Amino acid sequence: MVAIIKSSGSLRNVLNYNEQKLKQNVAQLVHSRNFGKDTDQLGFTDKLKTIEKLTSLNQRTRLNAVHISLNFDPSEKPTKEILQKIADAYMQRIGFGNQPYLVYQHHDSGHPHIHIVSTNIQKDGSRIKMQNIGRNQSETARKEIEKEFRLVQAQASQLKQVYELKPVNAQKVQYGKMETKRAITVVLDTILRTYKYGSLPELNAVLRLYNIIADRGSENSRTYKNNGLVYRVLDEKGEKVGTPIKASDIYNNPGLKFLNEKFKLNEPLKLPFKRRVKNAIDLSFIKHKGQSLDEMITNLQKDKIQVVLRRNVQGVIYGMTYIDHQNKVVFNGSDLGKEYSANQIQERIREQMLQIQQQVIQSELAIKYKPIPNQTSEVVTNQPPAQKPDAEIKLSGLIEIMDVLTKPENEGYTPSDLKKKQKRKRKRLHH
C-alpha cells in the first residue's frame, strides 16, 4: 500500500474533485465517519457544511483541507467492507479518528485506490499538526496495515513501478476535455507537491518531461492580461494539442496566485541542494575531458541530474535548466552561478576541446621530428642534448680507470732519454 497525503486551502475544490468523479461514474462513496447521517443519505451540502463548521473555528490555519489517497497493488481486489476497515484503521493511527471524513473509491486507473477527504481542524479549534505526518505517523500506519490485512508491501520493486509517474499520452487526450483534464491533474498532483521550483520556467522544465506545460498565453492575450493560467498537453514534437484546461477548473486551483506562493516557499528549500548540482557539473568536466554537450548531459544523468535546453527559433541554445531528480529540485543555470549558464558551459566545452587538440598536435610533432639513431645527416632540433643516466656515467668512468691500470708498463709515461736503446759493447780480441 502507498499512502499520499496532501493539504489544501480549498475544501470545496477537494470535495468537488471527488464529487465530479461520482458524476462521471468513475468513483463511489463507500464510507464516511462522524457525520450526522448515514453514508448513503449524505448530500453535497451535508458533506461540505459539516467540515466547514470545523474549519471556521480556526481562521489562522490556511491549509485546512486534507486529501489522502491509499493505493493498492493491481493484484489486490479489496472489497468495500475491507476498504472501510482499512480507511478507519489508517485514520485512527494518524490521529484523525475523531475527525469527519469521507471515503471515495476511484475506478479510473490501473490499480485499486481510495481517496479520503477530511480537515485538520478539531472541535476545540486546534489543528492537527501536518508536518512530517507522512514520514512518521503515516509510514508506521502503512506498515502495520499491510501486515494486518496481508497487503503487498510498498517496498516491493514491482509495486513502486505501478505508481511511477508516466508522461501523458497526447494522442489519447487531445480530442476530449475530460480526458485531458484527468491526465493533467494526475501529473500536477505529483509534480506540484514533490518538486521544488522557483519560477514558471523551472516548473515547466519538469512538466515538459510529462508532455504538459503551464501556459500564460501571449502578452496580448486575455489570459495573460487577466493573470490567468491554463495547462496544455504537448505532443512528441513539443507542440500544444488538445483542449486547454483553466487552472481554476482543477480542484486545487494551481493558478498564478497558487504558484507564486509556491515559488516563495521553495526558494529557501532549494539552497541546500545547490552544491550537489554544481559539484556534479564540475566533476563531469574533470572526469570526462573533451566531452561534448550531449556527452555532458548523458554523464549528468548518471547522477540523476537532467539537463533541459532552451532554444530560440533558430535552434540556438540560450538557456539551461538542471533538474535534480534525486532531491526533486530545479535550478536555472545562471542561478547556480555565471559559470553554469548556457553560454559559459558551452564556452568551457570549447576551451577544453581546444586544449586537447593542441596536445594532440604537439604530440604528433614530437614523434615526427624525433632524431633517428646512427643517421648520417644531422637533424637539427631545438631540444637540449639528452643527459646520460647516472649509472651509465659511473660505468664509463670505471672502464677508463681499468684501462689505465691494465696497460703495459712500457706504454706508460717515460722520460725521453730513458727510451733510448743502449748499445751492446763488443769484446775486443787481444792478440
Question: Is residue 14 domain-resident?
Answer: yes
- Tally of CB atoms within 10 A around 339: 15
Question: Is residue 85 domain-resident?
Answer: yes
pLDDT along the chain (431 residues), means of 10: 88 89 89 94 94 94 92 89 96 96 88 93 94 88 94 64 61 66 84 92 93 92 92 88 87 88 94 95 91 92 92 87 94 92 91 76 72 54 50 47 45 41 52 50
CB 143 within 8 A of CB 92: no
Q: What gap in Å lies between CA 90 and CA 111, rounded to an integer?
A: 19
Question: Is residue 279 domain-resident?
Answer: yes
Give the domain-ending residue among 140, 156, 172.
156
Question: Is residue 238 domain-resident?
Answer: no
Question: Is residue 94 domain-resident?
Answer: yes
Q: What is the pTM of this model?
A: 0.59
Give the domain-ending residue among 303, 333, 348.
348
Q: What gap in Å lies between CA 6 and CA 70, rounded to an integer?
A: 12
Dump strand ranges (E) for 140-238.
212-215, 230-234
What is the enclosing helix (H) or strand (E) of 69?
strand 65-71
Supply the CATH number for residue 13's domain. 3.30.930.30
pLDDT score for 57:
95
Tell me, yes or no, whether 152 and 279 share the same domain: no
Pick from 202, 258, 206: nearest CA to 229:
258
Give the domain-ending residue among 294, 315, 348.
348
Tell me, yes or no, whether 18 and 143 share the same domain: yes
Question: Is residue 146 domain-resident?
Answer: yes
Q: Please give the DSSP secondary-structure letter assigned to residue 26.
A: S
Computed on alpha carbons and rounded to an integer, the radius of gyration of the chain in Å comes to 41
Domain limits at 287? Answer: 272-348
pLDDT score for 128:
94
Tell me, yes or no, whether 139 and 278 share the same domain: no
pLDDT score for 190:
82
Pick from 269, 258, 286, 238: nearest CA to 331:
269
Q: What cell was used for 148?
A: 494486518
Residue 247, class by beta-carbon neighbours within 10 Å (0-12 exposed, 13-18 middle, 19+ buried)? buried
Q: What gap in Å lies between CA 122 and CA 95, rounded to an integer?
A: 11
Question: Is residue 267 domain-resident?
Answer: no
Number of domains in the chain: 2
Question: Is residue 66 domain-resident?
Answer: yes
Pick from 278, 342, 286: nearest CA to 310:
342
